[in-house]
Amino acid sequence: MNMVPSPADAPTGRAALQVPARVAAVIDGEPQWQGEVLPVVDPFREEVVAELVESAADTVSRAVAAADRAFREGAWPRLPVEERQSVLRRVADLIDREAAALAALECLNTGIPLRQLDLGQIRRSACNFRFFADYLGQAVGEAWHQTPGVTTVVLRRPAGVAALIGPWNAPLALTSMKVAAALAFGNTCVVKPAEQTPLTAWRLLELLHEAGVPPGTVNLVQGRGSVSGAALVGDPRLARVSFTGGTVAGRAVMAAAAASLVPATMELGGKSANLVFADADLDQAMDAALLGIFSNNGQQCLAGSRLLLEERIAGDFLAEFARRAGRLALGDPFLPTTDLGPLGSRVHQQRVLAHLRGALADGCELLAGGPEAAVPTAGCFVAPTVLRASDSRLAICQEEVFGPVATVMTFRTLDEACRLAADSRFGLVAYAWSRNVDTLSRLEAELRVGTLWQNLPMTRELRAPFGGFGESGVGREGGRACEAFYTEETTVSRATGPRPPLRRLGL
């Protein structure tokens, strides 16, 4: 593996950094500085870079009250579509204007290589706002006129206060999707970023206000899931909960929402199969397989973490895959030469290393990386690891590791490929590489996954639904899916012409 030195004078992109000293809840546009103070850490230098003021239950309650008031009395839910669209487009423009600073902030806080943020996640955050602005202008309604004298129309109205909870692996990209969708359909919201990565959400709130989102429409709470998160999802004034995170927390959040009969979407974990057949374009499949598991430091819900290879090509493919995994550059995420930065935190690094030790104890063959591989001494690094497994029931093939760790198994027949791919309690995505249309059609029919990419690396189509089967989640995000989720329908039937006389009662 290559380790990238980080000389003090290297042009690292840190020049764009503007780090807030403290972040806190924001209610009605006002920061709330009371509360327990937690450190915000740079996982590369393992330094405290900012402080987070955690929102206790009463702060969370005031945030929900502000959103509730803004929903019942405020301007946002009542704005004409054109005005809402232009505010959302302004938000997108401001994200573009601030892209370098936002990318640097996200890089500092997550350890994700700047190169991947700059053109990827931060641009995507701007796209989220533009996408929903455009969608809004094209949304269609329903009306029925078939019954003579009766016209029925369906009113779609904003649902109310949405709790929007985000994870730490792609903070701005994922949270901005929720905020853009909730706002587009006229809702107000309370956003809770992950406690480890609160910095870009703080900045987003400033940009939302600058763009013209009225204070109180989007409120922010901060802190741990067990403190501010639990207080938020237990609030009966919510109309919607949208959660992205792990399956364990997702269960707790869904149970809390159910207590108030609040609809909730869950974007949860994954353990996705990447199937490579002998007839595929193997060069492309190779590049995509490496990206699929090693981009974003391996911390992606949609990672292709289970590489399934047709036996005929497995030997050469695997040797090359392991060789290239071993050549990835680990180091300072600000350097343009870095492929993998540190994992999100020391705690998470230890969890990933424990998975690796367990896999070796279970008899997996180590082809690259591993728990003892040399990594930069500072920072929470895990070497890109490739493990050959003999049984897909092993923990390493079943549990979401959420790090740069690929397991590899081989198959001889399409039946066997389908069985291996389906052997998971998750069902977020799958990747399939083959030139045979029958093979691809069979996989379409068999795999119970939210998204199937055929001869493509991960490619998000915002118009299409995204979400998972099984333990990967409940509900979908995307154009129409978000419209359905963030609105309530009222059916209005009205007399519009002569009708047969009514049955007359009580004469």
**Shortest Å distance, C-beta 347 to ligand NAD:** 10
> Which SS3 state, helix, strand or coil, does residue 10 take?
coil
Tokens, residue 282: 């193997």
**Known active-site residue 189:** no
Q: Which is nearer to ligand NAD, 12 or 305 (CB)?
A: 305
Q: Which is nearer to ligand NAD, 229 or 369 (CB)?
A: 229
**Shortest Å distance, C-beta 301 to ligand NAD:** 3
Q: Which is nearer to ligand NAD, 89 or 448 (CB)?
A: 448
**Shortest Å distance, C-beta 188 to ligand NAD:** 19
DSSP for 266-320, written as a single string: EE-----EEEE-TTS-HHHHHHHHHHHHHGGGG--TT---EEEEEHHHHHHHHHH
Please give the sequence-ordered ranges of beta strands (E in DSSP) within 54-204, or none if there are none. 142-144, 150-158, 161-165, 188-192
DSSP for 337-381, written as a single string: T-SB---S-HHHHHHHHHHHHHHHHTTPEEEE--TTS---SSS--
Residue linked to tokens 């505010």 = 87
Task: Determine which one of 267, 310, 400, 471 is catalytic.
Answer: 267
Tokens, residue 200: 């870009």
Q: Which is nearer to ligand NAD, 12 or 349 (CB)?
A: 349
Residue linked to tokens 């003579």 = 148
- What residue type is assigned to position 43 of the chain? P
Contact 470, 299 (CB under 8 A): no
Q: Which is nearer to ligand NAD, 161 or 417 (CB)?
A: 161
Distance CA 239, CA 217 (A): 14
Pairing relation of β-strands 240-244 and 264-267?
parallel
**Shortest Å distance, C-beta 53 to ligand NAD:** 15
> Which SS3 state, helix, strand or coil, does residue 68 take?
helix
Q: Which is nearer to ligand NAD, 168 or 485 (CB)?
A: 168
- What residue type is assigned to position 380 of the chain? C
**Shortest Å distance, C-beta 169 to ligand NAD:** 5
**Shortest Å distance, C-beta 6 to ligand NAD:** 27
Distance CA 473, CA 425 (A): 11
Task: Determine which one of 301, 364, 397, 482 is catalytic.
Answer: 301
Q: How many CB atoms lie within 10 A of CB 241?
A: 24
**Shortest Å distance, C-beta 238 to ligand NAD:** 12
**Shortest Å distance, C-beta 121 to ligand NAD:** 11
Q: Which is nearer to ligand NAD, 411 or 485 (CB)?
A: 485
**Helices then strands, each counted (H, E), the chain:** 16, 27
Distance CA 485, CA 158 (A): 10
> Which SS3 state, helix, strand or coil, does residue 231 take?
helix
DSSP letter assigned to residue 504: P
Footprint on this chain of ligand NAD (rule: CB under 6 A)? 165-170, 174, 192, 194-195, 224-225, 229-230, 233, 244-246, 249, 252-253, 267-270, 301, 400, 402, 428, 468, 473
**Known active-site residue 482:** no
Q: Which is nearer to ligand NAD, 157 or 251 (CB)?
A: 251
Q: How many CB atoms lie within 10 A of CB 47?
A: 11
Distance CA 363, CA 366 (A): 9
Catalytically active residues are 267, 301
